[in-house]
Amino acid sequence: MRLDQFLVASRIVKRRSLAQEFCEKGRVYINAAVAKSSKEIKIGDEIEVRRNTESVTVRVLKLPVTKQVSKTDANTLFDTIKVDKRENAP
Count the domains in the chain: 1
Residue 90 lies in a domain: no
Tens digits of residue pLDDT in 62-73: 999 888 888 888
Contacts of 30 (CB under 8 A, 6+ apart): 3, 39, 41, 45, 46, 47
Residue 32 near residue 21, CB atoms below 8 Å: no
CATH number, domain at 24?
A: 3.10.290.10
Residue 43 near residue 59, CB atoms below 8 Å: no
Residue 28 lies in a domain: yes
Q: Please give the residue range of the domain that contains residue 8.
A: 3-85
The neighbour count for residue 8, using CB atoms within 10 Å, is 22
pTM for the full model? 0.89
Helix (H, G, I), strand (E, B) or coil at 30: strand
Q: What is the pLDDT of residue 2?
A: 93
